[in-house]
Chains A and B, each alone.
Chain A
Amino acid sequence: MSEHEYVPTSKAGKWFNDRLPLLSLGAHLSDYPTPKNLNYWWTFGGILTFCLITQIVTGIVLAMHYVAHADLAFESVEKIMRDVNYGWLIRYIHSNGASMFFLAVYIHIFRSLFFGSFKSPRELIWIIGMLIYILMMAAAFMGYVLPWGQMSFWGATVITNLFSAIPLVGESVVTWLWGGYSVDNPTLTRFFSLHYLIPFLILGLVVLHIWALHIPGNNNPIGIDIKKPSKDTVPFHPYITVKDIFALLMFMIIFAGFVFFSPNVLGHADNYIPANPLVTPAHIVPEWYLLPFYAILRSVPDKLGGVILMFGALFVLIILPWLDTSKVRSATFRPMYRQFFWIFVVDVLALGYLGAMPAEGVYLFLARISTAYYFLHFIVVLPALGFLEKTDPLPASISEPVLTGGFSAVPTRSDKTIDEKKIT
């Protein structure tokens, strides 16, 4: 890689770079050799960075006007919507931005699942990504509490009550979380504090996520190891930047569609009713992006069991790199996994739908089936496929996707030598 030899042309630049090699870092990011066959599913990393920055910037402005107090929070949000200059725009960007953030992160995660980006040597990128995802859910949940509407209050009550399922200390833990004996002002103020903190933790993890990515480099749609730099790669700038910007603009058009033309469609009407501890809404529903986990939680009749299963659903994601035993990364060359991948997508969408429905009758039955399948996918299907599946032969390089025969080999490091021969 060329960044090691990077020398700034100007004297001042050289002086600075010798003391703090930021310019070398810039050169590295610019030259970073990227597989040339990345498709649009790979643009969501950049889109997610945009989402995070958007949430932070709009959030900081909102925090200037928002009042974290049980008696004033709802009113202060209405003040933002009515009296703050472009307050409506900033708040709608922030509230819809959360949904857009999750939309993008789900696409990003499913892309990784399809193309096997979580596999060796990229396990840490995946795990850091999952930590980001968990923090995102925490931040989004606490953010939804801040307007102190009915869904805020009752959502907070339901979710914090989950911790009461912990044996022996559950009740004390919940009291500690609430800062009292029910969800009230102390709960709101600490949620606000944490809601402001978490995005910066996410930002830190994003730096680690990208750092870890830049060690092995990007995976790619065929999932084979490639030599970098080579005919198979392009420098990040301008090739990937221009593509990322184009995809980001497409994403922004959809984002703007929500913000300007149906800003409340992704939220719940009940959250425009001020929080009332004496009136429980007919259905307490979390935001759409949490629904699959909510469905898993409710599919178990026992509270502790539900909580364990819900956290288990996240845990199997974290250990995924060791559950999927297949050495082949991309589903393109895995005829059986490809089928199971799409079944899994449908399963998660079904869980999302069922999470929004009342937990009774046929909905509950289907939620239980879907929950069972969710775990079956990770614990049985993925480990077994590695042994049972006959994968298609892999190409030797991106530049030569047409098979030259004989290479049905798995993409291990020994492939690099093959690649080198082909390229040189």
Chain B
Amino acid sequence: MKLLVTILIATFFFGKAYSSSKDLLKIDWSFAGPTGKFERDSLQRGYQVYKEVCASCHSMQYLSYRNLSQKGGPEFTLEEVKAIAASYEVEDGPNSDGDMFERPARPSDHFINPYPNVNAAIASNGGAYPPDMSVLVKARPGGANYIYSVLMGYEEKPTDFDLDVGVYYNKYMDGNKIKMPSPLSDDLIEYTDGTNATQAQMAKDVTAFLTWAAEPHLEARHRTGTKVIIYLIILATLVYFSMKKIWSRVDAEK
């Protein structure tokens, strides 16, 4: 018991030392907590937001189209994924003549990059690199809440705040300056499932999608973890009583 308390204190202590949280907006995410799962609809809508809004600047180089049909993800059908992939052109080759050629993407292809290289991305975005979104949620303290907060955090700048041209005021960004203009606004896109595309709805969906992208095995991890903990508790109980029985021989001598 003393041990547990010590460990809890230590965890709290060091956990606190690391979190430099401003008061982020907090959403009751479906994937939070030990039994958390993603909502398929939300992930599918989130992908639509990524595809139609984010993908014009942000790459997701560690994801492949096949991941979209993977269990625990948006779970598009294989047919849908094939159709999604086929709507992109990728460079392949060299062919037997030694030439590179374009072909429609297959599910096994990686998400195509919006820019040929990092420098091109920087040049097209006023000197700021739009970060790759594959693990973005894990790369920011505050995770999903942070991403959601930044998406919702665009405000009019306070009158005494200096901003250069092409820089925007964001409540949750470090230094309150961000090069990305507010990417989401009400009814910016039309959801295929008919959901009302408010800014908050899109921010929530795309954040869920990015969380899945950063942690594609989250559901399996939660499921396995629950089983492992239950197994360990049962085993520990059995061992505890074995221990009591074995030690009773010694204790009896007292």
Instruction: Select which of B139, B140, B216, B236 is within 8 A of A253 by beta carbon.
Output: B236
B179 at interface, CB cutoff 8 A: no
Check B14–A260 contact: CB distance below 8 A: no
Check A242–B239 contact: CB distance below 8 A: yes
Q: How far is the CA of A291 from the CA of B220 in the complex (A)?
A: 33
A338 at interface, CB cutoff 8 A: no
A317 at interface, CB cutoff 8 A: no
Knowing A234-B250, A250-B3, A272-B138 touch, does A256 contact B232 (C-beta < 8 A)? yes
Q: How far is the CA of A249 from the CA of B225 in the complex (A)?
A: 15
A25 at interface, CB cutoff 8 A: no
Check A261–B217 contact: CB distance below 8 A: no
Check B7–A103 contact: CB distance below 8 A: yes
Instruction: Select which of A75, A249, A260 is within 8 A of B236 by beta carbon.
Output: A249
CB closest residue in chain A, given B19 = A265
Within 8 A of A (CB), among B186-245: 214, 216-217, 220-222, 224-226, 228-229, 232-233, 235-236, 239-240, 242-243
B62 at interface, CB cutoff 8 A: yes
Check B141–A256 contact: CB distance below 8 A: no
Return chain A residues, CB-CB under 8 Å to B247.
239, 242-243
Check A265–B15 contact: CB distance below 8 A: yes
Check B232–A253 contact: CB distance below 8 A: yes
B134 at interface, CB cutoff 8 A: yes
Q: How far is the CA of A40 from the CA of B222 in the complex (A)?
A: 30
Q: How far is the CA of A346 from the CA of B149 in the complex (A)?
A: 37
Q: How far is the CA of A250 from the CA of B124 in the complex (A)?
A: 54
B253 at interface, CB cutoff 8 A: yes
Instruction: Select which of A249, A260, A269 is within 8 A of B141 by beta carbon.
Output: A269
Check A254–B140 contact: CB distance below 8 A: no
B13 at interface, CB cutoff 8 A: yes
Instruction: Select which of A103, A263, A353 is within 8 A of B17 by beta carbon.
Output: A353
Q: Please classify the interface of chain A as helix (H, G, I), strand (E, B), loop, or mixed, using the class held by over half of its residues.
A: helix
Task: Name the interface size band of chain B.
Answer: 35 or more
Instruction: Select which of A36, A88, A249 is within 8 A of B217 by beta carbon.
Output: A88
Check A246–B62 contact: CB distance below 8 A: no
Instruction: Select which of A261, A270, A349, A357 is within 8 A of B222 by beta carbon.
Output: A261
CB closest residue in chain B, given A257 = B229
Return chain B residues, CB-CB under 8 Å to A92.
221
Return chain B residues, CB-CB under 8 Å to A399.
254
Return chain B residues, CB-CB under 8 Å to A82.
62, 67, 216-217
Knowing A88-B217, A249-B239 touch, does A349 contact B13 (C-beta < 8 A)? yes
Check A75–B62 contact: CB distance below 8 A: yes
- The interface on chain A, measured as residues whose beta carbon lies within 8 A of the other chain's beta carbons, has a size of 49
Check A269–B225 contact: CB distance below 8 A: no
Check A260–B225 contact: CB distance below 8 A: yes
Q: How far is the CA of A353 from the CA of B138 in the complex (A)?
A: 23
Check A261–B225 contact: CB distance below 8 A: yes
Instruction: Select which of A234, A246, A260, A288 is within 8 A of B229 by beta carbon.
Output: A260
Return chain A residues, CB-CB under 8 Å to B254.
399
Return chain A residues, CB-CB under 8 Å to B240.
246
A245 at interface, CB cutoff 8 A: yes
Knowing A253-B232, A260-B225 touch, does A36 contact B243 (C-beta < 8 A)? no
Return chain B residues, CB-CB under 8 Å to A238.
246
Return chain A residues, CB-CB under 8 Å to B214.
272
Instruction: Select which of A40, A234, A252, A260 is within 8 A of B224 by beta carbon.
Output: A260
CB closest residue in chain B, given A234 = B250
Q: How far is the CA of A42 from the CA of B216 in the complex (A)?
A: 40
**Shortest beta-carbon distance, B44 to chain A, in Å?**
20
Knowing A82-B216, A246-B240, A250-B3 touch, does A288 contact B232 (C-beta < 8 A)? no
| A208-247 Cβ-contact flags toward B at 8 Å (1 or 0) | 0000000000000000000000010010001100110110
Q: How far is the CA of A329 from the CA of B194 in the complex (A)?
A: 74
Knowing A260-B225, A261-B225, A288-B17 touch, does A231 contact B232 (C-beta < 8 A)? no
A residues sitting closer than 8 Å to B (CB atoms) are: 36, 40, 75, 78-79, 81-82, 88-89, 92, 103, 107, 231, 234, 238-239, 242-243, 245-246, 249-250, 252-254, 256-257, 259-261, 263-266, 268-270, 272-273, 282, 285, 288, 291, 349, 352-353, 356-357, 399
The 5 closest A-B pairs by CB, nearest first: A260-B225, A272-B139, A356-B17, A249-B236, A272-B138
Q: Contacts A88-B217, A103-B10, A260-B34 known; list 17 others, CB within 8 Å.
A: A75-B62, A78-B62, A78-B134, A78-B135, A231-B253, A234-B250, A239-B250, A242-B247, A250-B3, A253-B236, A256-B225, A256-B232, A264-B138, A265-B18, A272-B135, A288-B18, A352-B17
